[in-house]
Structure 1
């Protein structure tokens, strides 16, 4: 993914628009091969050029909906959930929503707290109705407010944000939002194992200071890096994660460690540096994460791919 000039960004926007139009027509014709081919082209373009949102702000929401396979949104259904009022864990939701991306003025201007509360209430009601053996159960858990924030910021309506968020949680990372946060803890263990392979020296330095990923990387894994500003860089990173899989967030966190490697290695107390990561810079983080994939043994990478969603027998 390379930085783009204005003319390059405009050309990229045209390329995205062309693929989106192809996708629209192939979706209507119901050819699954054509649809899949369009999605592949979108992924490739996201990796090579990034989504030029500054040129065309409508691109990101349209592309996210395609990547998440959100085709139908029902206003009646969403309004029915909202109409049920506060869910049983409303107090827990309100304890978190007011501080969601609190330092980001642009976010605060676009996304009011009541929008977050409404979306999270509706999500709890939706899953209150779906308690059956085919689905993992969901309620509100810590971190969900931050995972909902990019959808409310990006999508043109609360309605679309709700259905994208619900699909994302239920299919992409259901284990991240179980009451035990099982997927998050698995991700943190995998982060340690991957770091030990890709940079044994840095891993050894951190472990010598009793620093496991559980201690320093919990917020970054829990929120898929949405806890590290600025938001425009978070959205670029999420373009990549939605295109290629949320499991890659673990490698994106390692990429951030590698970008601050020299300072970490020189520090006698690296936790001071890790308490708050440097501002996110999506392009180098994505570039490093992609190269790290090649360094991992296949069985470990397979475990990484499965950890956000695959329920395993204990």
Structure 2
């Protein structure tokens, strides 16, 4: 099949969903990434000799990159590492070398040790799809949006854990940036990365967020009992985890997550038709949401179309709280939605009134939420910060 690639690409992808033989992993990954064309000539034309401003940093990083592995710790591997990293930097003048690029390169070099050109092509295709804009000189907006989406994902699936971590100040900025910037290659050994990436390469880029959420799920019982310092110590050196279970959970989380919850302004153009269809049309437009709004909101927004899909797919499992004024609610709303106008909600820092109005609304919401899979607040933003409490 590989000799007939790309003609047999669809068959390779189908077989990869069942299993990826370790011996052919490098070739399969290249097919999954859509690598095509004359990779040897392309790589040969890149100047990998002329000194650049990043050479010193590359020299420092390589001797620390997966050096437990006999192959990657060899002098020849270090030479190949250097050429690959210099080639990527030179051929992407609009991007910069960030620490962690060496870790990203390691799996491709390991699998294509005798074919640097293919390793380079795979690295380039991988970054384009899974780390779009992460290597900009100023990548702060990209990173912050990614972290905000991760927070929303955790809040959606595990509000109790999210609330606990937020209450002790253990925010993703303290531990998750190396996960995402290196797609976990900085925290897991190659043997585990192969399992993670075998699945990652078969899914949209948003699966990477679900891998992080699955890691937290795996450590959930510990984290719920831990203080801030305990959490810092736990993630300073990633504990042993069941990587197979993490991968399985990440796929399950991805399937259970509304597509619009994972929408990012800085995501690469999607090649996934289902994703494009889910995020097209007036009921799906999330482009007007600013980064400041995403970071300030505890719970992420989902599109109107996703709310409709959830209510139809899971009848009786969704509590829809419509916070619009009553006169607007009466003009039309989702079936079985509960109208609780935004002005009735107790805002953070408010004291309960004598008549118990806002507090009563909150208590009613909690009672209505019992046994529900999720709570959706639609209408005004007045009550969005209470969604976790209700959940």
TM-score above 0.5, yes or no:
yes
Shift of 1:251: 0.9
Contact 1:94 1:117 in 2 (8 A): yes
Runs of 4+ in 1 over 6 A off after TM superposition: 311-314
Tell whether 2:18 aligns with 1:69: no
The two structures, once aligned, show a CA RMSD in angstroms of: 2.7
Larger radius of gyration: 2
Structure 1 gap ranges (5+): 1-20, 29-33, 129-136
8 Å CA contact 2:132–2:267 kept in 1: the answer is yes
Q: Find the partner of 1:78 among 23, 43, 61.
A: 43
Cα distance between partner residues in 2 of 1:299 and 1:291? 16
- SS at 1:228's partner residue? coil
**Cα shift at 1:39:** 4.8
Aligned counterpart, 2:82: 117
Q: CA deviation at 1:234?
A: 0.6
| Cα distance in 2 for residues equivalent to 1:263 and 1:63 | 37
> Which structure has the higher relative contact order (CA within 8 Å, separation 6+)?
1
Residue 275 in 1 paired to residue 236 in 2?
yes
TM-score, structure 2 as length reference? 0.62
Q: Would you say the 8 A contact 1:228–1:279 is kept in 2?
A: no
Secondary structure of the 1:175 match is: coil
Deviation (angstroms), 1:249 = 1.4
Task: Report the alpha carbon displacement of residue 194 of structure 1 after superposing the two structures with TM.
Answer: 0.5
Cα distance 1:186–1:42, how it changes in 2: closer, same or farther (>3 A)? farther
CA distance in 1 between counterparts of 2:244 and 2:57 reads 35
Partner residue of 1:142 out of 99, 112, 121: 99
Whether 1:161 aligns to 2:119 is yes
Q: Which residue of structure 2 aligns with residue 134 of structure 1?
A: none
Count of residue correspondences: 269
The whole-number CA distance in structure 2 between the counterparts of 1:117 and 1:280 is: 32
Q: Report deviation, 1:97.
A: 2.2
Q: Structure 2 residue aligned with 1:208, among 150, 160, 167?
A: 167
Q: Is 1:108 aligned to residue 73 of structure 2?
A: yes
- Which one of 56, 67, 71 corresponds to residue 91 of structure 1? 56
Aligned to 2:322: none
Shift of 1:77: 3.5
Task: Give the direction of change, closer, same or farther, for the CA distance of 1:70–1:280 in structure 2 (3 Å limit).
Answer: farther
Instruction: Calculate the TM-score normalised by the size of structure 1.
Output: 0.76
For 1:148 and 1:127, the matched residues in 2 are separated by 15
Change (3 A) 1:279 1:51: farther
Q: 1:275 Cα shift?
A: 2.1
Q: Kindly indicate whether residue 156 of structure 2 is the aligned counterpart of residue 197 of structure 1.
A: yes
1:232 paired residue among 164, 173, 191: 191
* CA–CA separation in structure 1 for the residues paired with 2:174 and 2:269: 24
Query: Which moves more between the two structures, 67-76 or 204-213?
Result: 67-76
CA shift, 1:206, in A, is 0.8
Which of residues 179, 183, 193 in structure 1 aligns to 2:142? Answer: 183
Distance 1:293 1:98, change over 3 A: same
Kindly tell me: are residues 180 and 247 of structure 1, through their superposed partners in 2, closer, same or farther at Cα, counting changes over 3 Å?
A: farther
CA distance in 1, matches of 2:16, 2:122: 18
Contact 1:234–1:280 (Cα < 8 Å) also in 2: no
| Higher helix fraction (1 or 2) | 1
